[in-house]
């Protein structure tokens, strides 16, 4: 990408990625303000060949809601960082965002367009270089007078070269500052178009004059109007033709490498994707709605009762839960038949397990994993776990205890062949099997928690905590309830992360090498945790919700 386009994209695409990717915590204290336009209105001047669009809401109350979160250290660091960013984006001019831009700016739509076709001199190069998509910004004007004042002030800036021209009766203003070019058009005193390439604004003018728009594409008007239901929406992303967008963006990055037909078929399972991020009393919340083709969607969604969470102690700082691993494995095996490398990997795994341990991967491992399951990381400073600070555990509900018991017997026999001491132990009235290392304690522990629930723990202390259940269970801990309590139910399982415990471990590990910088520590200390869940109300819809749970500032 030319340096001028790259510089132009920093404020636009950089901001969108930060906001929608979940790291929008960096935008705690300041953000664009004001909103008069709408996603549908802005999309009416975006060309129909746009691959995707992001709409950033600049309504002050939505962004100001973020100010209730963050530690004083984090706020100081972010204020300093944002000041440097604003100074850089305004090119050290005497233009102030708060004074000169905020009073008139409405919502901002960032559209990704296909790249401009090569000029005759660029045709048939020896090596086809990767191409970059064009970027078009559509900025709503909520106060025409203040917008005019800003334009006049901009013209008075030093080191800015301005050249005016016309295209189909609309004035295009080309500005160049320190080698960076921007093309600007004001449409009907309602929208400002900005782009680093002239063709992008010309295509938008064509759209304004009557050519088909992004909003007029099939199904787009509906997703623009509905969006994603989040409180105090900060940004929304729209991909109305998911498969085509991914295919075109991949072709731009790797012109000589087309996606294989199997991958295209997988992509076509997804018709469209809409994502939105907002801020509420819990923190930053991201929701994604995926519209699927029910004829191509092979995934069979199942809700989980979430009972298995209570099998873990409150010291669990990371957890993944779900339902019916066996069915997911069968789906993967079926789909792997279309991918030679995956099929080969499955066959190798089957063969190696059979040869080395006489274990049938399908029957002995996956067949009995037909209920709810969970994988968790649990804090522990006992025994050999003191070196790393945590251990792990799998917990499975099954309706086929007989097969599961036979599998664990085979695993015990394999452990004995590795010179481990396999011993029985009673913990909390339960018969537990441990694989013990002399002078170090149990490497692994496994056993039955009830008639249908079995666990397999890495680290004897973790096994004891799960089997004994003397302390508080995870589902009753304040952090787990705060991070996951507001997520949609029923659902297909959770991803949970306790950021305080995770940060402690990261800091501990980093101290052995290079300590974390103060900026990272300040940001991490403002996050309570992360919770993610997925549900599917029908075969044609999948929904994901993520909460970045933030700590309130002491002043709130």
Dump pLDDT digits (tens) for 325-335: 999 999 999 98
CA-based max dimension of the chain = 86
Tell me the pLDDT tens digit for each residue of 295-309.
888 778 889 998 999
Q: How much is the average pLDDT of 178-204?
A: 88
CB-based contacts of 255-262 (< 8 A; 24+ apart in sequence): 255/128, 255/129, 255/130, 255/131, 256/128, 262/338, 262/339
pLDDT at 499 over 60: yes
Please give the Cα distance from 13 to 376 (Å, whole number). Answer: 36
All residues at 6 or more sequence positions from 82 whose CB lies less than 8 Å from its CB, including other chains: 27, 29, 30
Q: Are 449 and 430 in contact (CB under 8 A)?
A: yes
What's the rounded Cα separation, in Å, for the pair 90 and 173? 18
Whether the per-residue pLDDT at 143 is higher than 70: the answer is yes
Which tokens belong to 195?
Answer: 């782009």
Residues 6+ apart with CB under 8 A from 318: 376, 377, 496, 497, 498, 502
Give the tens place of pLDDT for each residue, 448-468: 999 999 999 999 999 999 999
pTM surpassing 0.75? yes
Q: Give the span between the Cα atoms of 221 and 199, in whole angstroms.
A: 25
| Residue 83 in this model has a pLDDT that exceeds 80 | no
Banded model confidence at residue 19, pLDDT cuts 50, 70, 90: very low
């Amino acid at each position: 990408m030319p340096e001028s386009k790259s510089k132009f994209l920093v404020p636009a695409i950089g901001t969108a990625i930060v906001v929608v990717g979940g790291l929008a915590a960096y935008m705690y204290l300041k953000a664009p303000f004001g909103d008069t336009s709408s996603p549908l209105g802005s999309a009416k001047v975006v060309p129909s060949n746009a691959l995707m669009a992001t709409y950033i809401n600049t309504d002050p109350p939505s962004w100001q809601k973020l100010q209730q979160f963050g530690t004083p250290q984090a706020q100081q660091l972010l204020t300093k960082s944002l000041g440097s960013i604003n100074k850089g984006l305004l090119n050290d001019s005497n233009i102030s965002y708060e004074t000169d831009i905020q009073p008139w700016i409405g919502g901002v739509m960032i559209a990704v367009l296909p790249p401009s076709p090569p000029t005759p001199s660029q045709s048939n190069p020896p090596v086809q270089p990767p191409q970059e998509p064009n970027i078009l910004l559509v900025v709503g004007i909520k106060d025409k007078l203040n917008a005019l004042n800003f334009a006049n002030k901009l013209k008075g800036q030093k080191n800015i070269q301005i050249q005016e021209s016309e295209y189909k009766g609309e004035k295009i203003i080309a500005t160049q500052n320190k080698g960076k070019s921007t093309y600007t058009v004001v449409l009907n005193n309602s929208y400002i178009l900005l782009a680093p390439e002239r063709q992008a604004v010309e295509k938008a003018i064509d759209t304004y004059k009557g050519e088909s728009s992004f909003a007029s594409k099939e199904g787009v008007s509906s997703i623009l109007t509905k969006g994603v239901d989040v409180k105090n929406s900060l940004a929304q992303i729209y991909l109305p033709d998911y498969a085509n967008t991914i295919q075109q963006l991949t072709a731009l990055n790797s012109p000589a490498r087309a996606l294989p037909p199997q991958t295209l078929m997988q992509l076509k399972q997804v018709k469209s994707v809409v994502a939105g991020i907002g801020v509420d009393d819990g923190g930053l919340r991201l929701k994604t709605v995926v519209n699927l083709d029910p004829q191509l969607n092979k995934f069979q969604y199942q809700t989980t009762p979430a009972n298995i969470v209570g099998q873990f102690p409150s010291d669990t700082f990371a957890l993944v839960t779900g339902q019916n691993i066996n069915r997911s494995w069968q789906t993967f095996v079926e789909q792997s038949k279309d991918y030679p490398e995956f099929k080969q990997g499955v066959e190798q795994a089957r063969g190696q397990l059979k040869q080395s341990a006489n274990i049938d991967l399908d029957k002995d491992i996956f067949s009995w994993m037909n209920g709810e399951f969970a994988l968790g990381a649990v804090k522990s400073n006992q025994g050999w776990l003191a070196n790393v600070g945590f251990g792990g555990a799998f917990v499975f509900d099954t309706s086929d205890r007989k097969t599961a018991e036979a599998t664990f017997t085979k695993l015990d026999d394999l452990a004995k062949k590795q010179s481990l001491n396999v011993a029985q132990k009673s913990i909390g009235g339960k018969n537990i099997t441990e694989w013990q290392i002399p002078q170090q304690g149990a490497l692994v522990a496994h056993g039955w928690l009830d008639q249908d629930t079995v666990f397999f723990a890495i680290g004897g202390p973790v096994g004891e905590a799960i089997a004994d259940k003397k302390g508080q269970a995870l589902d009753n801990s304040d952090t787990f309830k705060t991070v996951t309590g507001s997520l949609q139910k029923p659902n297909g399982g959770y991803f949970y992360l306790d950021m305080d415990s995770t940060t402690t471990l990261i800091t501990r590990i980093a101290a052995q090498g290079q300590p974390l910088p103060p900026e990272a520590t300040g940001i991490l200390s403002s996050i309570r945790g992360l919770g993610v869940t997925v549900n599917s109300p029908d075969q044609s819809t999948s929904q994901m919700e993520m909460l970045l749970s933030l700590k309130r500032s002491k002043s709130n």
